[in-house]
Structure 1
Amino acid sequence: MKRCHLFLLVFSLFFISVNVKAENADSLYVATHYNESEYFIEMRDGVKLFTVVYTPKDESKTYPILMNRTCYNVDGTRNNKLRAPSDYLIRGGYILVYQDVRGRYMSGGTFDNMRPNIPGNDVKNKKDIDESSDTYDTIDWLIKNIKGNNGRVGIYGISYPGHYSAAALLDAHPALKASSPQAPISDFFFDDFHHQGAFLQSYMAAFPVFGYQKDSLTNKSWYGDKMMRLYKDRPADGYEFNLALGPLKNITEKYHYDNFFWNQVVEHPNYDEFWQKRSILPHLKDINPAVLTVGGWFDAEDLFGPINIYKTIQQNDPDAKSTIVMGPWTHGGWSRERGQQTINHIYFGDSISTFFQREMEKPFFDYYLKDEGKMTLPEAYMFDTGLKEWRKYDEWPPKDVAPITFSFGENGKLLMDEDSKAGAEFSYISDPAKPVPYRSEIEGLTFTPRLFMTDDQRHASYRPDVLTFKTDVLDKDVTIAGEILAQLVVSMTGTDADFVVKLIDVYPDDFPNYEHNPKNIIMGGYQQLVRHEVFRGRFRDSYSEPKPFEPGVPTNVTVPLQDVLHTFKKGHRIMIQIHSTWFPYIDRNPQKYVDNIYKANEEDFIKSEITIHGMSTVKAGGDLPTIEFLKKTD
C-alpha cells in the first residue's frame, strides 16, 4: 500500500505543478529578506480564509502586494519554500500573499467548482459571496492591516488559480491594479473536463481532487483514498484499461459514485443553466485593472480559457489595458525553466520561460504596481510555433496575415483557396469498439494528458477510419495566424457522431532527428499535430438543446478550433485529418443518439458510416465568428 500512496503523491504533485516552479525559490534568500506571517481573514459572511503573507524585512520603503489564490494548498509556501511567483518577482520587492480559497485546505466554508459570479458584489454590506467578493474582502483587509504596503495589489495564478485571477477582475477592489490570469479556466463546458461538450475521459483520474468536501481544516489531502480506487492497479495501457471499462456509467458505479463533481457532470450533460452560470466570460465587462493573460499553444487543459478571456475583454472593452502572451508551452510551462524547451518530440528553443518571466511578466507588474519602467508590451506577444520565434502584434488576430480556405480533393489532396470537385464524398466506418488512439505510443493511466499536443499523427494516417488530406510540398512559407473554423457538411447511417478535426505540419523526409529524442523517433516525414478540436455533433445547433441526426441527410456541423500562430515552412506540407473517435482522450460517442451519454448502455454503441461531403471547408487565420458561434445557446 505504501507504493500505491507514493504513486498517488507523484500524480498529485504532477497536477499541482502547474502552480509551482520546477525548483523552489532560494529559501535562504526568502528567509533573510522576508518575514512570514499567517492570518485567517474573515469574509463578509463570516467565513475565514487561511492566508500566508511574506513581508520584506527592509522597512525603509513601501511595497505593492502580489497575491495568489489557490485551491491547491498554500501550506507548501510555508517555511520560506515559495512555489511562485518567479524568482525575478520574489527578488523584485513585493509583499507576497498566498490564500487557500473557500472550502479548501485550511480555509473555512464550502468549495464550489467554478462558483457562479454575482454581478455588483463589491458593496461591502452584501452577504452573498463569490470568488470576486472573497478577493475584494481579502484585498480590503490586506490594504488596511499589512504594514508597509503601497496601496496597490496585483494577482496572478496558473490554471484554477488563473481562474481566480480572472474572477478578481469582476467588480474589482479599487486597489487591484494588475491581474495575470495564466492558463485560466473560463468555462468547464469548454475547458478541462469538456471540449465543445464532449467529455474528456482522460480526466477521469482528476475528479477526486475536485469532488469531495473536507470535514475539517487541514493542510493534507483528504481525497487520497478516493484516488486509489483508480490507481491501485496501475494499468500499463490506458487505452485498453479505458476500453475495458465500457460505457461511462461504469465509471459511476466503480469509481465516482460518491463524487459530487462527477455526479454534477453526469446529471448535466448539456450546456444548461448549471454550466452557463459558471462561465466567467459573460461577466468580463468594465474591466479596470491591467490584464496580462498568458497561455501555452500546446496546453491540453486550458487553451480555450486564455484565448477567450482575452478576446471577450477586447470585445467588451476595446480600450482595456489588456495583453495576451501565447508561447510554446504545455500547461503552465512558463513558470519553470528547463533550459531546452521541448514539447514531447519537438524542440522550440532555449530559455523561453526565462525570457517571459524577465521581459514580460516582471515588467508588467513593476509598471502597474510600482511605476517602474515603461509599458512596452504589445497587445499580443505571440510565439510562431513553426518559425520558432516571438512576434509582436498590435491586435490579435492580426489583420496583415491573409486567411486561407482549405477544401478536400480526390486522392487525399488538400486544396488551398480553390474549390473541391462538385459532388465529392469521403466516407469512413466509425466503430466505437475500435476507437482511434489519441497517442502514437502506449501510455498508462494519465492524470491529465499533455504530451500528445505535438504528437506524430502517422499512426492515425494509416487507419481506414481517418480521413487524411495533405497539400503538395510547399514552395514558400505559409503562415496561419488566428482562428480556425471547420465548416463540415456530413451525413451518417447512425443518429449521432463526434468530429475530430486536426491541423498537421508534415516534415520533409530528410528532416534531421533531434538529439533529445529516443532513437526510435524519426523526424523525417513526422506529422506534427499543430491544432485539434473535437465537436459533439448533437450540439451543432445548440449546446443546451441537443438533437439527433437524421440518417443519410447532409447536415452542417461547424467545429471551432482554437487559435494558432504557425508557419508551415517551405518544403513542408499541410495536412488535415478528420475522424470520429480519439480515445481515451475523448469518451466514445455511442453513435446512436441517447439523451445522456453518461448513462448509455453497451448496446447503444453502434458502427456508423460517416460521410464528409465535398463542399466542406476549413477556414484558417484571421478573425472568424467563433465567439458568436459559442453564444448560440443564447
Structure 2
Amino acid sequence: MTKRHILGAVALVAFAAVAAAQTPPMTPDIPSTGFDAVTPQADYVRREVMIPMRDGKKLFTVIVMRKGTNNAPILLTRTPYNAAKTTSRNPSQKIEEILPVADAEFVDDGYIRVYQDVRGRNGSEGDYVMNRPLRGPLNHTKVDHATDAWDTIDWLVKNLPESNGRVGMTGSSYPGFTTLMATIDPHPALRAVVPMSPMVDGWMGDDWFHNGAFRQNSYDYLTGQMASKDDGDPVASGTGDRYALWLKAGSAGDYAHAYGLDAFPVARKMAEHPAYDDYWREQAVDRLLAARPFTVPMMLVVGQWDQEDSYGAPAVYRALKPKDKDGRLHLVVGPWRHSGVNYDGSALGPLRFTGDTALQFRRDVMKPFLDQYLKSGAPRVSTPPVLTYDSGRNRWQATAAIFDTKLKPLYLQAGATLDWNRADAAGRDDYVSDPAKPVPFLPRPIDWDSADVWKPWLVADQRFADGRPDVLTYVTEPLAAPVHILGRPMVDLFAATSGTDSDWVVKLIDVYPDEMSAEPRLAGYQLGIGMEIFRGRYVDGFDKPRALEPGKAENYRFELPTVNHSFMPGHRIMVQVQSSWFPLYDRNPQSYVANIFEAKPGDYRKATQSILTGGATASAILLPVVD
C-alpha cells in the first residue's frame, strides 16, 4: 500500500470516528443530569439538601459559602419566600451577587449562609399552616416552627464540616417570626438571633388586624403565598383604584365571597375570629416567650415606619425585658419601612438620612453583635440596650431604656389647637362620618400593588386629609424649642358617636415650615410620625366587643408605634382624628353587628362623631417627651 493509500485510510477511519461520536438529532435537549450554573471559576459553593424532620418530612435547604470556608459560623433563615430564588438572585459566579444584599458583610467574613423553605412551601414537604402555632391547644401535631428549627440546626452542625458548630438566625417579617419561634426550647447550638420586623401578634398590630380593624390588603398576601405550594399572584380583581373597587365590593366578607377567597382556610379563620379570642392569644409570640426562660441573646429590629409589622419587635422586647438579667436583649428602631433594614437605608419617600443607615446598622451593630457569640475569638462588644434613630435630628442615639419615659399630655383644644395645659372649660368638636365616603389612607387613585406606593405610604404627606369635613385637625403654634419624643405615644381620647359602633384613627404629625429653601420638597409637609386605628366596640377589652351607647362619651386609650423623633424649632405638632382609613382598613358600619365581615349594605350608616376637649374629659395625646 502506498503512502497515499495509507493516509486516505487513516482519514476515512478518523471521519468514521467523528461521525460515530456525533449526537443523534433526536437526542432530548434537556440534560438528563440537570445543569449546574455554578462553574469552576465561581468563588462559592452552593448546595441544595433535604433535611429530615422528626416526623419524617424533609425541608428544602440551600447552603451557600465562599470556597475555602472553614471553622465558620452558620447564619440561618427559615422562610416561606422561596429559598431557591433567594439564593440565586443573579446568574453570577460571585457569592455577593447571588445572595441578598444584606448577606454581603457576613459571607465576606466567612459565614455560612443557609436558607430553608418552611414546611409545605416551595421545595419543602409537609403541610403549610400560616404562622403555624406552637404545639398545644391550637396544634395537636408533634411539629411546629420550634421543632423544625431545632431539627434543622441539629442536622447542620452535624453535617457541615466547614462550620464551627455555632448557629445564628435572622430574618424579616415571616422569617422574623420563625427566628423568634426557634428560641422556644432552643437547640444548644443556637447562640444568637436577630429577628427583624417579626410577625408576633396578627390581631393586635401585625399584618391582619390593628386593634380589631381588619387590613383588607391581607387577602393579596394570602393568594400570593397559598394559591399553590409555589409563589402565587394577587387577587385578580383588576388594576383600577382600590378605593373604588373595595367600596363597590361592600364588606371584607363580601369581597372574599366575590373572588372565591373563602377557599383559603386562613381567610375563613380570620373572619371566624374577629375579636381577640384564644385563637389569637395562643398564637401571640410575645405571650409564648414571656412564659419561658430567656436564654438566647436577641437583637430585635423594627422600622419606625414599618407599614406591616410595627407591633411585634417592641412587644417582644417589653415581654422579655424583665427576664434579661445580663444585658443580652436589645432593641433597634431605624428610620425604615418594613424590612428596609435589609436594603438601602439612605432615604424613605421624601426623607433623606445621614448615609445608608441600614448598612451602618448591619455592618457596625448587627454583625459585631453576632460575631461575639458565633465567631471563634471574636471580641466582646458593648451593644446598647436600645438603639434608635432620631428622625428629626437625623442621628443615631443609644439609650438604656425606651418605654420608661413619663408620658406628657398634649391636649386637644377648642379652636383646633394643641396645648400642654388642659383647658378648664369642657368642649366638643363634631364631624359626620359617612361609610359611603370613607377617608382614604392615601390620595386617590390608590394602587397598593405598586411598591413605590405601598412601601413608603406611612411617610406620605397628610395634607390630602387635612381640611376634609370628616377629619378634625389640631395643631400647635410653631415651636420655639425642640420637642424630643422617644418611646410609644399613647392616645387618650374621649369621644362619643351617634351610632352604635365606630372606628377612631389618630395621627401624630410633624408639620414642616411653609418655607424651606434648604429642602423645598418638604416645605409645608405633614409627616406622619405615629398613626393608628382603634375599633370602638373593644373599649371594654379586646375580647369583649359590645355595642356603643349613642351619645355616651367613652375613653379610648391605645398606643401609637414606637418612635424617636425631634419636632424641630419652627415646626408644628399636629393631631388628626377621623373614623375611617380606607381601603386599607375595612369600613366600620357604625351600627353594631356581631361580625363586621358579615355586615350588609343596610348596616352602613352615617354617624355624628364628637371629640371632647377640656375639663374632666379632655382628649390628649400622651407623648414620651425626653430632655
Given the two structures, how large is their TM-score scaled by the length of structure 2?
A: 0.87
In structure 2, what is the equivalent of residue 348 of structure 1?
Answer: 353
- Partner of 1:250, secondary structure, is helix
> Which has the greater radius of gyration?
2
Q: Deviation at 1:86?
A: 2.4
Distance 1:319 1:546 in 2: 41
What is the aligned partner in structure 2 of residue 262 from structure 1? Answer: 267
Deviation at 1:28, TM superposition (A): 9.1
Q: Does residue 49 of the first structure (1) align with residue 52 of the second (2)?
A: no
Q: Which residue of 1 aligns with 2:18?
A: none
**Residue aligned with 2:522, SS:** coil
Compute the displacement of 1:514 (Å).
4.2
Letter in 1 for 2:166: R
Instruction: Confirm or deny: 8 A CA contact 2:65 2:107 kept in the other structure.
Output: no
Which residue is 2:498 aligned to?
Answer: 493
Decide whether the 8 Å contact of 2:78 with 2:178 is kept in 1: yes
How many corresponding residue pairs?
Answer: 569
- Residue of structure 2 equivalent to 1:409: 413
2:245 corresponds to:
241
Distance 1:493 1:82 in 2: 56
In terms of mean alpha carbon deviation, does 159-168 or 244-253 score higher?
244-253
Of residues 183, 193, 210, the one that matches 1:195 is 210
1:554-565 aligned within 5 A:
554-565=553-564
Q: Structure 1: how far apart are the matches of 2:48 and 2:342?
A: 25
In the aligned structure 2, how far is the partner of 1:447 from the partner of 1:211?
21
Deviations 1:146-199 (A, max 9, x none): 112212100000110011111111111111001010111101112012111101
What's the counterpart of residue 393 of structure 1? 399
SS at match of 1:243: helix
Deviation at residue 84 of structure 1 after TM alignment: 5.8
**Greater mean alpha carbon deviation, residues 126-135 or residues 181-190:** 126-135
Distance 1:210 1:28 in 2: 29
Match of 1:109 among 115, 122, 126: 126
> Structure 1 CA distance, aligned partners of 2:39 and 2:314?
36
Tell me, yes or no, if the aligned pair for 1:287 and 1:320 is still in contact at 8 Å. Answer: no
- Equivalent-residue separation in structure 2 for 1:53 and 1:318 (angstroms): 35
Which residue of 1 is the match for residue 449 of structure 2?
Answer: 446
Segments of structure 2 that go 5 or more residues without pairing to the other structure are 1-36
The 2-side partners of 1:600 and 1:228 are apart by 21
Matched, 1:180 2:194: yes
Q: In structure 2, give the amino acid aligned to 1:254.
A: A
Query: Helix, strand or coil: the match of 2:255?
Result: helix
SS of the aligned residue for 2:246 comes to helix
Change (3 A) 1:249 1:127: closer
Q: Distance in 1 between matches of 2:603 and 2:512?
A: 40
Q: Give the residue type in structure 2 aligned to 1:147.
A: P
Shift of 1:557: 1.4
Residue number in structure 2 paired with 1:479: 484
The partner residue of 1:317 within 310, 324, 335 is 324
1 CA distance for matches of 2:498 and 2:604?
13
> Pairwise mapping of residues 616-631 of structure 1 onto structure 2 (< 5 A)?
616-621=619-624
Q: Do residues 275 (structure 1) and 280 (structure 2) align?
A: yes
Q: Separation in 2 of the partners of 1:62 and 1:445?
A: 46
Residues in 2 aligned to 1:552 and 1:127: alpha-carbon distance in whole angstroms = 50
What does 1:223-622 align with in structure 2 at a 5 Å threshold?
223-224=232-233, 227=234, 229-230=236-237, 233-235=238-240, 237-255=241-259, 256-284=261-289, 285-319=292-326, 321-337=328-344, 341-370=346-375, 371-397=377-403, 399=405, 403-416=407-420, 418-440=421-443, 442-446=445-449, 449-512=454-517, 514=519, 522-614=521-613, 615-621=618-624
Choose which of 115, 135, 151 in structure 2 pairs with 1:98: 115
- Map Cα deviations across residues 320-342 of structure 1 (whole Å, 9 max, x no partner): 5111111111011121226xx22
Shift of residue 119, structure 1, vs aligned partner: 7.5
Check 1:336–1:537 CA distance in 2 against 1; reply closer, same or farther (3 A cut). same
Alpha-carbon displacement from aligned partner over 1:555-614 (angstroms, at most 9, x marks no partner): 121122122111000111101111101111211100000000001001100000111112
For residues 174-232 of structure 1, the C-alpha deviation after alignment (integer angstroms, 9 at most, x for no partner) is: 11001010111101112012111101123332220244453xxxxx43x34xx3522xx
Distance in 1 (CA, whole Å) between partners of 2:287 and 2:327 is 16
The letter of the residue matching 1:596 is N
CA displacement, residues 256-277 of structure 1 (integer Å, 9 cap, x when unaligned): 1312221111111111122121
Deviations 1:510-564 (A, max 9, x none): 123747xxxxxx5322111111000001111121221110111111211221221
Q: Equivalents in 2 of 1:195, 1:315: separation in Å?
A: 26
Kept in 1, the 8 Å contact 2:46–2:64? The answer is: yes
What RMSD over aligned residues (CA atoms) do the two structures have, in Å?
Answer: 2.3
1:386 touches 1:568 (CA, 8 Å); kept in 2?
yes
Q: Percent identity, aligned pairs only? A: 35
Report the residue type matching 2:59 in the other structure: L
What SS class does the counterpart of residue 395 from structure 1 fall into?
coil
- For structure 1, the residue ranges without an aligned partner over 5 or more in a row are 1-26, 121-125, 215-219, 516-521, 624-634
2:50 corresponds in structure 1 to 40
Whole-Å separation in 2 of the counterparts to 1:197 and 1:30: 55
